Amino acid sequence: MQPSDIDKKVKGYRRLIPSMTALLEFEAVARLASFTLAAQELGVTQAAVSKQIRLLEDTLETKLFHRLHRAIKLTHEGYVLHLVVAESIHRMASVFDKIVEGIGEQEITIACTEAFSHLRILPRLIALRTLQPKLKLRLMTQQVSPGSYRDDVDLAVRFGDGKWEDGSSVFLFDEEVFPVCSPAWLAGNPAPSSITDFLDVALIDSDSTLEGWMTWNRWCRELGDMRPKLNYSFRCSSYNDAIQAAIQGHGIALGWSRLIAHRLNSGELIRITPYMVKPKDAYYLVIPSGRKLEPITQALVDWLRDDSYLNH
């Protein structure tokens, strides 16, 4: 693009948006649903806020708010504009924070479940620092699979079919689910040799916290036992806790092969039967809509996929 073209484009933006002040005040009014509260937050008069909103409405030649009795409500056009303005302001604020705090542009924020963070990402951090020494990683974890994104999330790990309307997906890996226990537990207990044997041993179970997550009950049904009556020695809401309980010898847990690979490699956990269920869903790295696909993304995919990067 030639300099003259850039000048024309900038002038076009200025013609359409004569004042950033109007957008900032519009965002405050829309978020707070009040001219008065927006004025108080911004430290200006209510009349000044009203003037900026009228200026913006005149520029766009459309109403942005329904003025109701003692209330205001966004019009359809106002709602659409607020989505864009709010996201842009949050993204700018995030960049300002990074600059002020001295954080480099190579910081990547990844959203994922706590189980994926603790069991798949953290054991690979040393390898990531070797592969990408300038990259700064920020993890945003939650109990369930990320279903929506904050404005400062660059990538997210999801378990599902890879078809989401709010982002584009890159396949990471599928899964296999099978029973595991510690060497200590196996030394004092006979290993189950059939599906029915699992009805009489001490089982460790965790809650199903995301679509497709497999509990013992579902695992048995997948293998043909439609009415299992299981003996739970320990139940918890967190898969991390279930795995830790298995390592400490409290019973048999379901091992998700890609999540516990380093525990199997280290010998802390042992796969005790050939029985296995392969879920139809898989893990994907998702780039939220509106985010740019950076070259670093493929390096992160390779890093997350490769078990040779595990730190023992």
Per-residue confidence (pLDDT) for residue 165, from 0 to 100? 83
Per-residue confidence (pLDDT) for residue 213, from 0 to 100? 78
Find how far residue 43's CA is from the centre of its chain: 36
* Model confidence at 7: pLDDT above 60: no
* Model confidence at 63: pLDDT above 90: yes
Per-residue confidence (pLDDT) for residue 307, from 0 to 100? 77
* Model confidence at 16: pLDDT above 60: no
Tell me if 260 sits within 8 A of 116, measured CB to CB. no
The mean pLDDT of 298-309, rounded to a whole number, is 82
Bridge partners of residue 270, in order along the sequence: 181
CATH code that applies to domain 175-269: 3.40.190.290
Taking only the tens place, the pLDDT of each residue in 189-218 is 988 888 888 878 899 998 876 656 788 888
Residue of 3 and 267 predicted with greater confidence: 267
* Model confidence at 312: pLDDT above 50: no
The mean pLDDT of 163-178, rounded to a whole number, is 90
How would CATH label the architecture of 105-172+279-303? 3-Layer(aba) Sandwich (3.40)
The fraction of the chain above a pLDDT of 90, given in percent, is: 39
The mean pLDDT of 45-68, rounded to a whole number, is 91
How would CATH label the architecture of 12-99? Orthogonal Bundle (1.10)
Taking only the tens place, the pLDDT of each residue in 136-153 is 888 888 766 655 555 678
Per-residue confidence (pLDDT) for residue 142, from 0 to 100? 76
Per-residue confidence (pLDDT) for residue 250, from 0 to 100? 94
* Model confidence at 309: pLDDT above 70: no
> 């008069």: which residue's tokens?
45
* Model confidence at 18: pLDDT above 60: no
Taking only the tens place, the pLDDT of each residue in 213-253 is 788 888 888 888 766 688 888 998 889 999 999 999 999 99
Q: Under 8 Å CB-to-CB from 147, ≥6 apart: which residues? A: none
Per-residue confidence (pLDDT) for residue 10, from 0 to 100? 42
Task: Name the residue ranges covered by the structural domains of the chain.
Answer: 12-99, 105-172+279-303, 175-269
Per-residue confidence (pLDDT) for residue 226, from 0 to 100? 64
Q: Comparing 12-99 with 175-269, is the CATH topology the same?
A: no
The mean pLDDT of 179-187, rounded to a whole number, is 95
Indicate the pLDDT class of residue 132, thresholds 50, 70 and 90.
confident
Taking only the tens place, the pLDDT of each residue in 267-301 is 999 999 889 999 999 999 998 877 777 778 888 88
Per-residue confidence (pLDDT) for residue 212, from 0 to 100? 66
pTM, entire model: 0.64
